[in-house]
């Protein structure tokens, strides 16, 4: 039953192989997209948890928690006059932009 005799057996097999390869490719793209989606969700969740709890950790956290937070957020660490200086690493550096530095609890 190859389209009422319009396709030969060889043409049918050839078309079937092409379609099966395309199907496998689309399925792999779907799998990759699901995996990437999960990774982005996990990264976003980690980012938001870190920035949400940063002040609390720096004010009340144990020294090890503070150290881990600084290592997560910062780079180019320097100790000068008993004060730690560092720059924020990506993506945390975006929080220094004025448009993101609003107090959501205002008013």
pLDDT of residue 24: 92
51 to each of 58, 77, 104, how far by Cα in Å?
A: 11, 19, 14
The answer to whether position 106 is within a domain reads no
The answer to whether position 2 is within a domain reads no
The answer to whether position 105 is within a domain reads no
Top-confidence range, 5-9, 24-28, 75-79: 24-28
- Please check whether residue 86 is in contact with residue 66, taking contact to mean a CB–CB distance below 8 angstroms: no
The range of the structural domain enclosing residue 65 comes to 9-100
Rounded-to-integer distance, Cα 24 and Cα 16, Å = 12
pLDDT of residue 17: 93
Rounded-to-integer distance, Cα 58 and Cα 84, Å = 13
The answer to whether position 42 is within a domain reads yes
pLDDT of residue 3: 59
Rounded-to-integer distance, Cα 39 and Cα 41, Å = 5
The structure tokens listed for 50 are 């870190």
Structural domains in the chain (count): 1
The answer to whether position 26 is within a domain reads yes
Q: Is the pLDDT of residue 80 over 90?
A: no
The answer to whether position 3 is within a domain reads no
Going by pLDDT thresholds of 50, 70 and 90, the confidence category of residue 71 is confident
More confident residue, 100 or 91: 91
Q: What is the pLDDT of residues 13-70, one digit of tens each?
A: 899 999 999 999 999 888 887 777 768 888 888 888 888 888 899 899 999 998 888 8
User: Where does the chain show beta strands of DSSP type E?
Assistant: 74-80, 83-88
Among 55, 84, 54, smallest CA distance to 72 is for 54
Rounded-to-integer distance, Cα 72 and Cα 90, Å = 10
The answer to whether position 43 is within a domain reads yes
The answer to whether position 48 is within a domain reads yes
């Amino acid at each position: 039953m190859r389209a009422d005799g319009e396709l030969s057996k060889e043409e049918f097999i050839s078309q079937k192989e092409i379609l099966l390869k395309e199907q496998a490719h689309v399925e792999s793209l779907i799998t990759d997209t699901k995996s990437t989606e999960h990774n982005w969700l996990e990264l976003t969740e980690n980012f938001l948890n870190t920035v949400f709890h940063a002040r609390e950790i720096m004010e009340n956290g144990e020294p090890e928690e503070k150290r881990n937070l600084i290592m997560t957020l910062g780079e180019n660490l320097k100790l000068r006059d008993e004060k730690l200086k560092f720059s924020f690493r990506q993506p945390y550096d975006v929080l220094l932009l004025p448009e993101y530095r609003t107090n959501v609890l205002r008013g």
